[in-house]
């Protein structure tokens, strides 16, 4: 449905996009995951028509968008910092795209109410946007982008400027919303958890290129290269193979009983504990442990690897 | 996206202001140059006028009174700048708003206030001039310095203190250097205003004290030596040009130097009784300095013999020997002219602001638009007199020339109020609107115009107040049968007698009230920071 082909954008010497190619099917949510500077926001701006590509093209329903100015593309865009119109109230912000489309007043009012209800801001119509919290502003921005029923919804780190608990709540809301509305969306983020939670498929970008696209499971099972593996948090990469941390079993052993290495550090991530073991050959191995009974730093351990957890790149 | 209406609009934003400035600013100025450098159809040396001891005295007085005025303004303003820049207290924003009042008052009103308040013998002369300049300009020092001070991170000084800097040393080595850009900017602005001050010097200087500005008026209007006036204008232009150039340099410096802290993090309530005393003392002294002259002005306008009455105000409706119109007609003329000038200034200045704010526009326009600010009103008035003295434009037969010159004086202020607001519009707001289906023209109508609307209204209020009080240019151009308020006040002062003085005071009070009303209307629009 939406297809970006070999898109290249240069800012002087700097290459922001180096032939990025990406496809989004109808009613599909694709999350674009990449570090800052990987070109993911530039890709969104090219699709929205806010940035002219130096080469390559963008197709929407088979139509080349090159000659179409942003205001006629019918794409919705949600910015990271909301970018609400501060000289208008909440309802006027949401109504903006509908007015541009030339909708009748009564129809606009109905649609605005409908959308504010959808994003959980019922009754906020006449509020000034300056009085809203960050999360509320983000909801208004989302309602504003959705109101004119865009063919594609583009979201540029929409949760990036919010604090963690709020982000997690909005993430759940977005998930539910996407499922309910069956939108075609491209969602840009640097946060792996967000990408995996929202994306039907996830596209990984690096240095202006899309290096791998797949469902979260596919990516986790078969990262395309060591960089992708590291980026996804698979730390045990060596000689073209990846050892999944959950496939590593670590056992505490008494002094003088041999063993394979010493626990160097320990960090708890929610239900799992990640242990870093310094092996006797000097290399490091990460292990994910779910048990509350785990070795402590400085303790000597033996290590076992489940062969099913070894991935060849 | 460079559609035709967009290109047409962009062209208009700089072509219209440029054409206006070419005809009403460059042409009069060139006429002055021509008049000054040529005599009897050939090039003539201006040395005769330049080496005249009178010229030397005038230039010398202009310089030292401007320097001394600047020093006095700082002495009066710095304590208040300190307490406003360091402490949070109830009424702080009200104080900051009130401080602006003298600055927007017409110079004629300020001159009359000091004529009224200063004891006999002191009311005319260099002392009166310096005090009036300090009164007029203290807002610049208080606002510029206190705003900057309030952006300096308090912790910088605290760190210095932990490193062993005693308070005096701390101030000298930390605060003062950090504050320097704002001090430099404020002093250059005050110097410039004192240097080109006209109404105050003309009225309070008496026959003994003349600056370049008032001497241009004397030569042109009283002695009818247009060539000497033209040469003095050129001298003034050069001096002002240098001062404006320095000011612009310093202003760029200030923007770079401004600290990133927001006032909320810096200001704190005064804690000790010494600090509370400082706040009350500094602001109390400022209140007396600014309030008493205006109060006495009002008192003098209602003084009748030993008692009080409205005789002077009642007399405003009657014909007088000082004018070819009744004083009330002068009030009406002023409102009419100022209204027309406001429309011109807002239209031309608004367009110019769009051009200046557009990064792809010609850079030179920015500087060009600031020039009328430096060219001084007297020079503009004089330039109009010699440039437009025959058909197709004869200033004697063209009443619209008065609003045009007033608009020219107000123009830089309009641009300076509107352009920063336009520049501050987040480009992504326009992008967001475009993505939602707004064409480029629609983006301007829906995003730029509403956001800038408030700034335009504020600019209109200032333009109206400036035009209302404009004296230096208007005094050359207003016809005797259609005087404006400031011109009428000046004519009354030129006449002997109690009743003429009382009417001058009454008219000054009316002018003050009208100015205050237009500024108050602006204040209601929620301008939090003045244009300075």
Name the residue ranges covered by the structural domains of chain B: 1-34+306-532, 65-301
CATH 3.40.50.300 fits A242-312, yes or no: no
Confidence of residue B40 (pLDDT cuts 50, 70, 90): low
B436 touching chain A per CB within 8 A: yes
**B65-301 CATH, one of 1.10.3720.10, 3.40.50.1950, 3.40.350.10, 1.10.10.10:** 1.10.3720.10
Contacts of A97 in chain B (CB under 8 A): 436-437
pLDDT at B360: 62
| B1-34+306-532 matches B65-301 in fold | yes
pLDDT at B41: 62
Where are the domain boundaries for CATH 3.40.50.300 in chain A? 2-227
The per-residue pLDDT of chain B, averaged, comes to: 84
Percent of chain B with pLDDT over 70: 90
Cβ of B436 within 8 Å of Cβ of A73? The answer is no
Cβ of B451 within 8 Å of Cβ of A69? The answer is no
Percent of chain A with pLDDT over 90: 38
pLDDT at B53: 84
Higher pLDDT among residues B420 and B261, named by residue: B420
A225 touching chain B per CB within 8 A: no
pLDDT at B282: 92
Contacts of A46 in chain B (CB under 8 A): none
Residue of A nearest to B447 (CA): A85
Q: What interface predicted TM-score (ipTM) does this complex get? A: 0.74
Interface test with A, best of B5, B425, B436 (most A CBs within 10 A): B436
Contacts of B442 in chain A (CB under 8 A): 71, 100
Q: Answer for the pair B129, B64: CB distance below 8 angstroms, yes or no.
A: no
Residue B158 has pLDDT above 80, yes or no: no
CA distance B319 to A235: 96
Supply the CATH classification number for the domain B1-34+306-532: 1.10.3720.10
Residue-wise pLDDT for B432-448, tens only, equals 999 999 988 899 888 88
pTM across the whole model:
0.75
pLDDT at B154: 72
Work out how many CB contacts closer than 8 A connect A with B. 64
Candidates B428, B437, B439; nearest CB to A79? B428
Confidence of residue B252 (pLDDT cuts 50, 70, 90): low
Residue A311 has pLDDT above 90, yes or no: no
The per-residue pLDDT of chain A, averaged, comes to: 88
CATH 3.40.50.2000 fits A2-227, yes or no: no
Candidates A71, A79, A86; nearest CB to B439? A71
Cβ contacts of A144 within 8 Å, gap of 6 or more: A84, A93, A94, A96, A97, B432, B436
Residue B258 has pLDDT above 50, yes or no: no
Cβ of A100 within 8 Å of Cβ of B426? The answer is no
DSSP chain A: -EEEEEEEEEETTEEEEEEEEEEE-TT-EEEEEE-TTSSHHHHHHHHHTSS--SEEEEEETTEE-TTS-GGGS-EEEE-TT----TTSBHHHHHHHHHHHHT--HHHHHHHHHHHHHHTT-TT-TT-BGGGS-HHHHHHHHHHHHHTT--SEEEEESTTTTS-HHHHHHHHHHHHHHHHHHT--EEEEES-HHHHHHH-SEEEEEETTEEEEEE-HHHHHHS-SSHHHHHHTT--EEETTEEE-GGGEEEEE--TTS--SEEEEEEEEETTEEEEEEEETTS-EEEEEE-SS--PPTT-EEEEEE-GGGEEE-
Percent of chain A with pLDDT over 70: 99
pLDDT at B251: 62
Residue B456 has pLDDT above 80, yes or no: yes
Residue-wise pLDDT for B234-247, tens only, equals 888 888 888 777 77
Residue B453 has pLDDT above 90, yes or no: no
Where are the domain boundaries for CATH 2.40.50.140 in chain A? 242-312
């Amino acid at each position: 449905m939406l297809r970006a082909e070999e898109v290249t954008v240069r800012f002087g010497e700097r290459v922001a996009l180096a032939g990025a190619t990406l496809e989004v099917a109808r009613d599909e949510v694709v999350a674009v995951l990449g570090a800052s500077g990987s070109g993911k926001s530039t890709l969104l701006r090219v699709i929205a028509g806010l940035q002219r590509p130096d080469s390559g093209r963008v197709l929407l329903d088979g139509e080349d968008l090159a000659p179409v100015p942003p205001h006629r593309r019918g794409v919705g865009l949600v910015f990271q910092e909301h970018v609400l119109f501060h000289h208008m109230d909440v309802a006027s912000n949401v109504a903006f795209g509908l007015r541009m489309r030339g909708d009748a007043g009564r129809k606009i009012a109905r649609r605005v109410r409908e959308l504010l209800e959808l994003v959980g801001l019922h009754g906020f119509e006449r509020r000034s946007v300056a009085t809203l919290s960050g999360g509320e502003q983000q909801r208004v921005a989302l309602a504003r982008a959705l109101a004119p029923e865009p063919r594609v919804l583009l979201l540029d780190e929409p949760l990036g400027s919010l604090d963690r608990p709020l982000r997690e709540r909005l993430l759940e809301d977005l998930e539910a919303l996407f499922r309910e509305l069956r939108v075609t969306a491209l969602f840009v983020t640097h946060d792996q958890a967000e990408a995996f939670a929202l994306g039907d498929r996830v596209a990984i970008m690096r240095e202006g290129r899309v290096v791998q696209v797949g469902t979260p499971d596919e990516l986790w099972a078969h990262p395309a290269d060591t960089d992708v593996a590291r980026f996804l948090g698979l730390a045990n990469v060596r000689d073209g193979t990846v050892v999944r941390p959950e496939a590593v079993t670590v056992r505490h052993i008494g002094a003088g009983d041999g063993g394979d290495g010493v626990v160097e550090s320990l960090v708890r991530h929610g239900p799992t504990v990640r242990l870093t073991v310094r092996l006797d050959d000097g290399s490091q191995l990460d292990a994910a442990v779910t048990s509350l009974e785990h070795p402590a730093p400085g303790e000597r351990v033996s290590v076992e690897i489940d062969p099913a957890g070894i991935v060849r790149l | 996206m460079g559609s035709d209406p967009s290109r047409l609009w962009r062209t208009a934003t700089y072509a219209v202001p440029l054409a206006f400035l070419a005809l009403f600013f460059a042409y009069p100025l060139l006429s002055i140059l021509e008049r000054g450098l040529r005599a009897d159809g050939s090039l003539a040396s201006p040395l005769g006028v330049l080496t005249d001891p009178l010229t030397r005295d005038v230039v010398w007085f202009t310089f030292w009174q401007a320097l001394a005025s600047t020093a006095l303004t700082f002495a009066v303003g710095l304590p208040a700048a300190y307490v406003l820049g360091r402490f949070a207290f109830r009424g702080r924003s009200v104080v900051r708003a009130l401080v602006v009042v003298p600055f927007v008052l017409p110079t004629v009103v300020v001159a009359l206030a000091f004529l009224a308040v200063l004891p006999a013998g002191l009311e005319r002369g260099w002392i009166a001039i310096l005090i009036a300049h300090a009164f007029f300009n203290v807002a610049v020092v208080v606002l510029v310095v206190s705003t900057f001070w309030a952006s300096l991170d308090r912790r910088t000084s605290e760190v210095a203190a932990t490193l062993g800097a005693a308070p005096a040393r701390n101030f000298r080595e930390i605060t003062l250097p950090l504050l320097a850009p704002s001090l430099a900017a404020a002093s250059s602005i005050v110097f410039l205003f004192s240097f080109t001050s006209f109404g105050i010097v003309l009225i309070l200087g008496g026959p003994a004290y003349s600056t370049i500005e008032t001497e241009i008026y004397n030569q042109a209007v009283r002695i009818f030596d247009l060539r000497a006036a033209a040469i003095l204008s050129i001298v003034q232009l050069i001096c002002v040009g240098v001062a404006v150039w320095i000011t612009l340099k310093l202003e760029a410096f200030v923007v770079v130097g401004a600290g990133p802290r927001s006032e909320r993090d810096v200001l704190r309530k005064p804690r000790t009784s010494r600090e509370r005393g400082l706040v009350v003392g500094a602001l109390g002294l400022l209140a007396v300095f600014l309030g008493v002259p205006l109060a006495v002005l009002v008192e003098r306008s209602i003084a009748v013999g030993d008692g009080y009455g409205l005789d002077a105000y009642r007399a405003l409706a009657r014909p007088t020997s000082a004018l070819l119109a009744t004083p009330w007609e002068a009030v009406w003329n002023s409102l009419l002219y100022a209204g027309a000038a406001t429309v011109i200034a807002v239209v031309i200045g608004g367009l110019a602001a769009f051009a200046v704010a557009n990064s792809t526009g010609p850079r030179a326009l920015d500087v060009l638009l600031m020039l009328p600010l430096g060219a001084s009103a007297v020079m503009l008035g004089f330039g109009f007199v010699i440039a437009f003295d025959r058909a197709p434009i004869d200033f004697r037969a063209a009443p619209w020339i008065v609003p045009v010159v007033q608009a020219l004086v107000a123009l830089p202020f309009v641009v300076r109020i509107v352009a920063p607001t336009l520049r501050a519009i987040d480009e992504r707001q326009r992008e967001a609107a475009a993505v939602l289906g707004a064409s480029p023209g629609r983006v301007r109508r829906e995003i730029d115009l509403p956001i800038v609307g408030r700034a335009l209204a504020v600019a209109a209020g200032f333009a109206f107040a400036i035009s209302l009080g404009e004296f230096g240019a208007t005094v050359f151009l207003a016809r005797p049968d259609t005087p404006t308020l400031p011109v009428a006040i000046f004519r009354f002062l030129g006449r002997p007698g109690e009743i003429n003085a009382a009417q001058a005071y009454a008219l000054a009070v009316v002018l003050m009230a009208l100015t205050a009303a237009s500024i108050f209307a602006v204040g209601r629009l929620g301008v939090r920071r003045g244009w300075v």
